[in-house]
Amino acid sequence: MKVAIIGSGGREHAISVILKKSDKIDKIFCIPGNAGTSTIAENIDLKIDNFEHIKNFVLDKKVDLVIIGPEKPLVDGLVDYLEKFQIKVFGPNKIASQLEGSKIFTKKLCEKYKIPTAKFGIFYKKIDAISFLEKVIFPTVIKADNLASGKGVYICNDKKEGCLAIEEIFNGKFGKAESLLIEEFLEGEEMSFFTIHDGKIYKNFDTAQDHKRVHEGDQGKNTGGMGAYSPSRLINNKLEKKILEKIINPTIKGLLELGTEYKGFLYAGLMITKGEPYLIEYNVRMGDPECQTILPKLETDLAEIIIACCNKKLDKIEIKWSEKKSICIVLCSNGYPDEFKKNVAIENLDKISLNKNEYLFHAGTIKKNDTIEAVGGRVLNFVSVSEDFKNAKQCVINNLDKLNWKDGFYRRDIGYKVIN
């Protein structure tokens, strides 16, 4: 069959590589893809917000299945649009995607179905938000209500920081903001928990831990993710049961009562506090870089799983995972997450030879003639799977050292909690 994958990041390259292993897949198109995907798929230079062009391409090439990687087209309703033309799509519809698209939608769902989450207030006016700061206990969390690639969240230590956050959000730093949330600060350790859904049932899709901050020791600005490891050190049967019963099941029930179903990956960002799970946020897709670290451990054919989801037959599939440990380290352009140079050549890529437990997924790269150039903040994802985290990490670091890219940097401490 022919598949089109929407997106251009490390997540989409990883999905392409793992799908390619399936004998069900004859051809992959990546829209628009990156230099990595161009080696195993055909990149198609279309804008992912031009739904009509995507639909025309898919119908013209008789693509059998579309897989949507990033949140924006999901939140904007690409699934609903393509399904109107009888195109098979893997991903949640527009209503269900509000789980990520609107924090207020999710908070109201939590309230109605008693899903554990931080206490919160919703504010539509600057003056009301600022006067509420008189009452809160610091640190407190202030969030823009729109998609902000993980950047619209402020952890504020005092009133002054809180006022600045409120100003920036309402002044449109993360796009037009009609409202914001002020939330209780949750203490504990975070975990990314994934499930995969066919609209009728769902199955677990492993766990991971990402490192969002730019500097070692989890310091500095929030980024899209500097690295990840899988599984999370926190997961056990008892906690898993609580997550399913207290968080995932009531969410699906809530969507059902709104007259909709969930199809696709669901990513619950959780805070685990004294063994109890709290929902921080939902994402309606795989995480990036969590996807890169999770998929190499999948032992079941990914194409079969996704096709089963599109046919509401996930109950017929047993999803098997390797017991091994996986680590992903992201190589970023110097300056990220602030300004960084674009179109910088990446040399030495030919010096890296990967064994069957190692992967190199591209993110912000393009191919120009015979050169690979960095064009994004997050550039390459180095992944290794091994019996233990320490060895997996060493393999990744060896490859990063071989590349020795002077225009980039990476965190050397990814996975420190499971290694030291």
Stretch in the footprint of ligand AMP (CB under 6 A) among 21-29, 180-188, 323-331, 403-411 = 180-188
Cβ 210 to ligand GLY shortest distance, Å: 4
Q: The tokens 């897989």 sit on which residue?
A: 67
Q: Which is nearer to ligand GLY, 9 or 254 (CB)?
A: 9
Q: Which is nearer to ligand AMP, 72 or 212 (CB)?
A: 212
Long-range contacts of 38-45 (CB under 8 A, 24+ apart): 38/367, 40/16, 41/5, 41/16, 44/4
Cβ 141 to ligand AMP shortest distance, Å: 4
Name residues contacting ligand AMP, limited to 29-88 (CB under 6 A).
none
Closest CA to 104 of 157, 154, 147: 147
Cβ 392 to ligand AMP shortest distance, Å: 23
Q: Does 183 bind ligand AMP (CB under 6 A)?
A: yes
Q: Which is nearer to ligand GLY, 7 or 225 (CB)?
A: 225
Amino acid identity, position 316: K
Q: Which is nearer to ligand GLY, 198 or 290 (CB)?
A: 290
When binding is defined by CB under 6 A, the residue of 107, 211, 212, 378 that contacts ligand AMP is 212
Q: Does 190 bind ligand AMP (CB under 6 A)?
A: yes
d(CA 64, CA 51) in angstroms, rounded, equals 17
Name residues contacting ligand AMP, limited to 116-155 (CB under 6 A).
118, 141, 150, 153
Which residues bind to ligand GLY, rule: CB under 6 A? Answer: 150, 210, 225, 283, 287-288, 290
What, of ligand GLY, ligand AMP, none, does residue 290 touch, CB below 5 to 8 Å by kind?
Answer: ligand GLY
Q: Which is nearer to ligand GLY, 29 or 174 (CB)?
A: 174
What, of ligand AMP, ligand GLY, none, does residue 210 touch, CB below 5 to 8 Å by kind?
Answer: ligand GLY
Stretch in the footprint of ligand AMP (CB under 6 A) among 51-59, 181-189, 321-329, 385-393 = 181-189
* Prior bond of 250 cis (ω within 30°): no
| 8 A C-beta contact, residue 23 and residue 81 | no
| 8 A C-beta contact, residue 14 and residue 359 | yes
Please give the sequence-ordered ranges of beta strands (E in DSSP) within 226-309, or none if there are none. 227-230, 263-273, 276-283
Q: Which is nearer to ligand GLY, 290 or 301 (CB)?
A: 290
Q: Which is nearer to ligand GLY, 145 or 288 (CB)?
A: 288
Burial 29-57 (b: 16+ CB within 10 A, else e): bbbbbbbbbbeebebbebebeebeebbeb
CB proximity list for 286: less than 8 A, separation 6 or greater: 11, 15, 69, 194, 265, 267, 294
Please give the sequence-ordered ranges of beta strands (E in DSSP) within 45-164, or none if there are none. 65-68, 89-90, 120-123, 140-144, 153-156
CA 371 distance to own-chain centroid: 28
276: three-class secondary structure by DSSP: strand
The footprint of ligand AMP (CB under 6 A) covers: 118, 141, 150, 153, 183, 185-186, 190, 212, 269, 280-281
